[in-house]
Structure 1
Amino acid sequence: MFERFGAFLKARGLTSAIIAAAILGLAGFLYVISTALVSSPPGPLDSYARGEMSQFVTLNEAPPQPLGRIITGEGEEMTLADRRGGLVLVNFWATWCAPCVVEMPELDALQARLGSEDFEVMAISMDRTMDEARRFYEENALEHLALYHDPALRLAMAAGSRGLPTTILYDRHGGEIGRLTGEAAWASDDAIALIEAALERY
């Protein structure tokens, strides 16, 4: 009797294992299918994310444009919403961030070449004070970038930044087009091509 009962339990255990494996396999299959269905189509600028811009990515669920208070070099308060109507390349940087220091001249050159009513590079300092950023501008002859400072030091976090530098391209309505984390050659031909394509499409 006990032997039969043991055999029954073994059979039930084997059956349960087979059923569990089938369920897991089906769940995995459905997950792959659902992921494929909900993934967003390639962005209009994806073909320009090459060469020096190969790290430029479009997020499926980009965070909203942060609207915290920014201080300009003239001491006026503003938000990123005040720049809507044109494309804005927002760069979060600090003087204590080595990669940031390297790419700032590149951003200055990009602003010199493409800056207009339709496009601006907004380098927002995350330094403790505006004076630190101002001194850096003077020492490195950055003549084309306007000075911006985040006094609350929270704007980059609100934008979903995972480190500095983080550079985010916003469209004319404040929607995120794409972003690049880390140092990049923003004055390169690849960067110019990407920004010019964005100006045409957005």
Structure 2
Amino acid sequence: MNPSSPEGLAQTGEVDTRGAQRTSPSGSVARFLAWTALGLGMMILSAGLAWSIRGGMEPPSPAPESAPVANVVPPPDQKSVLFKKGRLTYQVHCTRCHGPEGRGDGPDAAVLRPPPRDFAARPWTHGETTEAIRTVILQGIPGTAMTGWSHLLSSQELDAVVDYVRSLGAPPREIKVSDTPTTLLRQAGFEPIEPAIAASPLTFEGLDGRKRTLDQEQGKAILLVFWGTTCAPCMEELPSLDRLASEFAHAPLAVLPICIDEADDALVREVERTRTRQLPLLVDRTGLARIQYDVQSIPYAVLIDSEGRQIGRAQGCKDWSTEAVRELLRTVTSRSANSE
């Protein structure tokens, strides 16, 4: 049989009866592998395409961030809160007497006896510590318009107003080495008494007839001013002496203007009415003051410290409102207060 004839080809398996070429076993395997690879490639391509589409539709994951910082509002400054509360409490209860800045110039101050304290003036009679101020606020000051507030203030309000009152006072002045009694006495127009000598006993009367002695002012500094109703310079200086006494009303200082030339109380009362506003005038009934304090002429002043010693004398009319006089008395009374 001819291999090239159709019958021969059919028998050899190289061409089927329909004339189509038949695949050899090795070609089938190759095609199977090709189709398998193509299928796998298509699957991978489909999976990749699906992943890309899904990734494009979903928002990207946020980049890691640090923990968010909380928006915390800091608490108000406690000191500032207390200061405002103290100022408000002071304005409600104190300004009518002491004034808005604590200068003793409130609308009611003119009619008060003794006048309200000027917190800037030194020294403070009852002390400047927190406890001293607290005690005055709670208990008041007998004989004055300052009544106790224990029923008006809460504990927090009390603490706040104590701190506020302290803030109104100027810081205590530091006494310099140069501010010795001798220096200050001379600057204020006094002649220093060196060495200091004990104050002589002295009895005098008020216009109410009550007798008084220097011993009753023990522990205070004393300013004795001897004057007379027929003395023109005495009349001239009494108003400034009155203002000085008012300024130091709360200090450990006794201002004692003693008339030594007039027994007529009516005339002394007239001088008191016209020359002073709140300083009571006194009278020496014994006639011994001139001798005890060696008064050669009037007006004549003697300054006595808290230990009962004469430390300075001044003769002639003085302006008691000068800063030099105030500085001397602030120093002397400050030392009196510190010795208590």
Give the TM-score taking structure 2 as reference length. Answer: 0.43
Report the Cα offset of residue 64 of structure 1.
Answer: 3.7
In structure 2, what is the equivalent of residue 85 of structure 1?
Answer: 219
CA contact (8 A) 2:198 2:309 kept: yes
Q: 1:169 to 1:43 in 2, by over 3 A?
A: farther
Distance 2:227 2:197 in 1: 19
Tell me which residue corresponds to 2:270: 135
Q: Report the Cα distance in structure 1 between the residues aligned to 2:226 and 2:180, rounded to whole angstroms.
A: 24
The equivalences for 1:90-169 within 5 A come to 90-116=224-250, 118-129=252-263, 130-140=265-275, 142-169=276-303
SS at match of 1:135: helix
Change (3 A) 1:113 1:125: same
Letter in 2 for 1:131: A
Matched residue, 1:45: 181
Q: Deviations over 1:145-188 (max 9, x none)?
A: 12211012221321122211111111123211211111111111
Q: Structure 1's 62 and 132: CA in aligned 2 closer, same or farther, altered over 3 A? A: farther
Partners of 2:302 and 2:314 within 8 A in 1: yes
* 2:203 pairs with 1:69: yes
In our comparison, the structure showing a higher alpha carbon Rg is 2
Change in CA separation of 1:50 and 1:75 when aligned onto 2, cut-off 3 Å = same
Structure 1: where are the runs of 5+ without partners? 1-41
Q: Give the number of equivalent residue pairs.
A: 158
Q: Which residue of 2 aligns with 1:187?
A: 321
Q: Which amino acid aligns with 2:246?
A: A
| Partner SS, residue 187 of structure 1 | coil
Q: Which amino acid aligns with 2:267?
A: E
Name structure 2 gaps, 5 residues minimum: 1-177
Residue pair 2:197, 2:311 contacting (<8 A) in 1 also: no
Q: Which residue of 2 aligns with 1:35?
A: none
Q: Is the 8 A contact 1:64 1:159 kept in 2?
A: no
Residue 198 of structure 1 deviates from its aligned partner by 1.1
Residue aligned with 2:254, SS:
strand
Equivalent residues of 2:194, 2:311 under 8 A apart = no
Task: Go from structure 1 to structure 2 and tell me whether the alpha carbon gap of 1:157 and 1:62 turns closer, same or farther (over 3 Å shift).
Answer: farther
Q: Distance in 1 between matches of 2:257 and 2:299?
A: 10
Q: Distance in 2 between matches of 1:100 and 1:58?
A: 22
Distance 1:60 1:46, change over 3 A: closer
Compared CA separation, residues 76 and 201, structure 1 to 2 (3 A): same
Alignment of structure 1 residues 54-65 onto 2, 5 Å:
55-60=189-194, 64-65=198-199
CA, structure 1 residues 179+135, in 2 after alignment: closer, same or farther (shift >3 Å)? same
RMSD: 2.1
Whether the 8 Å contact between 1:50 and 1:190 is mirrored in structure 2 is no
Equivalent residue letter for 1:128: E
Match 2:330 to one of 192, 196, 199? 196
Aligned counterparts of 2:282 and 2:266: Cα–Cα separation in 1:
11
| Separation in structure 2 between the aligned mates of residue 133 and residue 60 of structure 1, nearest angstrom | 34
Per the alignment, residue 34 of structure 1 pairs with none
What is the Cα deviation at residue 43 of structure 1? 9.2
Distance 2:234 2:287 in 1: 16
Tell me the secondary structure at the aligned position of residue 152 of structure 1.
coil
Tell me the TM-score normalized by structure 1.
0.71
Change over 3 Å in CA distance of 1:68–1:120 after alignment to 2: closer
